[in-house]
Amino acid sequence: MLRSENFIYFFTVSGFFIGLIFSILNFSAPEDILIYTVTVTFFFYIFIHIAVMNFVDIKRFKVGLFNKKEHEDVNEYFITELDAREKVMDNLLSDLEK
């Protein structure tokens, strides 16, 4: 599955090179190369963000990003293990004090 970041990276780099080619073909001053390249790259960057924003299902994204139930189960397991180990340590320390 392609991630949305990959589309953003691809279109931003594509926009940079298209802007660079356009600016080299149509420049009259050296600073025009920079201005045209940055403008076209920014346009592609904004365009792909708007496109991705319309196609990403944020409800499904949130569930995949952080599975609360799984983390709670793992944390509960670790808490019970730590409690058991703490009781063993308390018993060992109380036996040493006697």
Question: In this predicted structure, what is the pLDDT of residue 63?
Answer: 58
Yes or no: say if 10 and 58 are a contact pair by the CB < 8 Å rule. Answer: no
Are the CB atoms for 4 and 56 separated by under 8 Å? Answer: yes
Alpha carbon separation from 67 to 25, 55, 60, 70, 81 (Å, rounded): 51, 22, 11, 6, 22
Residue that is written with structure tokens 């600016």 in the block = 23
Shared-domain flag, residues 30 and 62:
no
What's the pLDDT at 53? Answer: 84
40, 19 Cβ separation under 8 angstroms: yes
| pLDDT number for residue 57 | 67
Whether residues 52 and 63 fall in one domain:
no
Same domain for 62 and 52, yes or no, is: no
The per-residue pLDDT string of the chain (98 residues; one tens digit each, 9 = 90 and over) reads: 677 888 899 999 999 999 999 999 988 888 889 999 999 999 999 999 998 888 876 666 665 667 788 889 999 999 999 999 999 999 998 888 87
Domain that holds residue 11: 1-56
